[in-house]
Structure 1
Amino acid sequence: MRVLFAGTPEVAVPSLRALVDAGLDVAAVLTRVDAPVGRRRVLTPSAVATAADELGLPVLKANRFTPELIAELETLELDAAAIVAYGGIVPPAALALPRHGWVNLHFSLLPAWRGAAPVQHAVLAGDDVVGATTFLLEKGLDTGPVFGMMTEPLEPSATSGEVLESLSRSGAVLLVQTLSGIEAGQLTPTPQTGEPTAAPKLTIDDARIDWSQPAVGVRRRINAVTPEPGAWTTLDGQRVKLEPVTSAGTAQDDDAVPAATTDQGGARRDALAPGTVRVDGTHVLVGTGSDPVVLGRLQPAGRTMMNALDWARGAALRGELVFE
């Protein structure tokens, strides 16, 4: 089977390598143009472009489908196109080129979480199961008929980055199986069923932590936006970046802080006001709308990422600490 592969970020690389390892004829790789990276804004090839160069594959770089690009794709005489997180809309003129159409690997169980950030929204919602779907790309946003699915349990402590890394590997297997089934004439896509949910891109504003939310909501939001766009809060008007937190009753060591207790009247004895920071033994607690959470690592403004306990012991000299 002669295929085009379209993708851009690191999460798409396992699929490209899987197609090559499976012996498919990858006629070309389409990815977005080099983008500025880092403080110096150095133009850098995408992860997929780098991998394609390593594999000796022809690379086409474009952020949109110009008439010239469509004409070049037409000369490839494609049987199919595989697309994984390319980051651009494929117009009807390009959709019509491959004999078997465009097969999209999407990291959700469609029609759940249609959009740019399916894993982040699954983590934020506390789904029990995540997965990936291969479907026939059409004009609508992730609306095409489905070829196949795979599932994995979602661990409560997993970040979006960790889930995506896992799904990128298992989803690559699904993509190869789908293309092989299409080539053998054994797969026919079926319409999606169920109530769709939307998964728009999460912004930096979405990554700000609201400490008035219950502890489970705080943990899920931090996990959902890790590593991108990155959880944050403020202290004295300065932004502080946060890594994942744990529940006060589940710290993984011998000095675990017990969960909040209640007196006979039902009031919590060790409750903290939302956002209030307290050092308790070897842990740094932060109050939420329910039980406190335990900080792991954080990055104060102008400093590097550091252990929360080291930070808190020094910062506490300034008096009470309250995240906003």
Structure 2
Amino acid sequence: MNKLRIVYMGTPEFAVAPLEALLNAGCNVVGVITNPDKPAGRGQQIQEAAVKKFAVEKGLKILQPEKFRNEEFLEELKALKADLQVVVAFKMLPEMVWNMPKYGTLNLHASLLPQYRGAAPINWAIINGDKETGVSTFLLQHKIDTGNILFQEKIPIGDNDNVEVIHDKLMTVGSELVVKTVHAIEAGEYPQIPQENLSDEVIALKSAPKIFKEDCKIDWTKDLDSIHNLIRGLSPYPASWTELIPNETGKAIGLKVFTTEKEKTNHSEEIGRIVTDGKSYLKVAVNGGFISIKMLQQAGKKRMKTEDFLRGFQQIKNYHL
């Protein structure tokens, strides 16, 4: 059997593992499309995408278009004569690109579609307190994340799992699913399940829009589970945040919160009150108990454990949230 000519499209670390899995499985990857190099960080040094770095190591042909409708890029893409394109964590593609190969364009999405269509499916699944998530492979159509499902794989979400934990699990499971899907397409034995057929089985569809700074602000008036889920659903990136407000005059201090534990209990403390011994623990009174902060970052400082933060911020009792 002639192996399909595959063009792979992706940019971040999440997209490296599926590309590596395809190569390890002996798939015929004839080119890689990734984002152009761009300046980043304080020094504005030119940074290469994780997928580009990996593709360079493997000696793969690389294209980095500024615009997908550029005639020169389209000619280069056509010249690769792809039978199938595989997209993982990449930009939206125009139809002239995704519809070019004989078998179309396969996408890996980090949710159990049709749930969590959009840019941040891992974050929102955790923020919403879901107990499971997964990955889906599907064929691209006009509307984002709406194509026919090929295969899915589920994983559980633990009560304290954060985005980093679930990201890494889905990256591994997703890599295997991409290889499985490509082999099924090669063999001509793959299902195509319209997402409408799956959406009947769920109560309500949840979306996964891009996350902005205001989405990350902690509302301490919410219940214990909601606050804990928000914090772990944004950790380590982009990270939830709050502000320490001085009791008298002074400037508010920004805090990012990365790790918390729930303490379910009845209490008579004012909601949002900071409870601390100034040395080893820092808790916030909320509806249903206390949020115990374990890892945080003061604006302009490094990320640190709570006890290290308190050691250097002994005026904590002069602040409130």
Q: Which runs of 4 or more aligned residues in structure 1 lie more than 6 Å from their structure 2 counterparts after TM superposition?
A: none
In the alignment, the residues of structure 2 paired with residue 173 and residue 203 of structure 1 have an alpha-carbon distance, to the nearest angstrom, of 31
Aligned pair partner of 1:213 in 213, 222, 235: 222
1:83 aligns with 2:81: no
Whether the 8 Å CA contact 1:279–1:285 is kept in 2: the answer is no
Aligned pair partner of 2:138 in 128, 131, 135: 135
2:112 corresponding residue in structure 1? 109
SS in 2 for 1:206: helix
1:241 aligns with 2:256: yes
1:255 corresponding residue in structure 2? none
2:248 corresponding residue in structure 1? none
1:165 corresponding residue in structure 2? 168
In the alignment, the residues of structure 2 paired with residue 309 and residue 17 of structure 1 have an alpha-carbon distance, to the nearest angstrom, of 41
Whether the 8 Å CA contact 2:280–2:310 is kept in 1: the answer is no
1:228 corresponding residue in structure 2? 237
Letter paired with 2:309: W
1:260 aligns with 2:258: no
SS in 1 for 2:259: coil
Whether the 8 Å CA contact 2:280–2:306 is kept in 1: the answer is no
% same residue: 31
In the alignment, the residues of structure 1 paired with residue 190 and residue 317 of structure 2 have an alpha-carbon distance, to the nearest angstrom, of 65
In the alignment, the residues of structure 2 paired with residue 196 and residue 147 of structure 1 have an alpha-carbon distance, to the nearest angstrom, of 19
Query: TM-score, normalised on structure 2?
Result: 0.90
Query: TM-score, normalised on structure 1?
Result: 0.89
Q: CA deviation at 1:63?
A: 4.2
Question: Which ranges in structure 2 are unaligned for 5 or more consecutive residues?
Answer: 246-251
SS in 1 for 2:286: coil
SS in 2 for 1:219: helix
Aligned pair partner of 1:174 in 173, 177, 180: 177
Q: Which moved more, 1:161-170 or 1:34-43?
A: 34-43
1:202 corresponding residue in structure 2? 211
2:41 corresponding residue in structure 1? 38
Q: How many residues align?
A: 305
Letter paired with 1:57: L
1:264 corresponding residue in structure 2? none
Q: CA deviation at 1:96?
A: 2.1
1:185 aligns with 2:188: yes
Q: CA deviation at 1:142?
A: 0.3
Q: Which moved more, 1:280-289 or 1:100-109?
A: 280-289
In the alignment, the residues of structure 2 paired with residue 316 and residue 278 of structure 1 have an alpha-carbon distance, to the nearest angstrom, of 11
Change over 3 Å in CA distance of 1:8–1:20 after alignment to 2 = same
1:156-215 deviation line (CA, Å, top 9, x unaligned):
111112211110111010010001001101113110121543110111221111111112
Change over 3 Å in CA distance of 1:310–1:68 after alignment to 2 = same
Question: Which ranges in structure 1 are unaligned for 5 or more consecutive residues?
Answer: 249-258, 262-267
1:17 aligns with 2:20: yes
Q: CA deviation at 1:34?
A: 1.1
In the alignment, the residues of structure 2 paired with residue 181 and residue 24 of structure 1 have an alpha-carbon distance, to the nearest angstrom, of 12
Q: CA deviation at 1:6?
A: 0.2
Letter paired with 1:73: L
1:273 corresponding residue in structure 2? 271
Whether the 8 Å CA contact 1:28–1:59 is kept in 2: the answer is yes
Letter paired with 1:81: Q
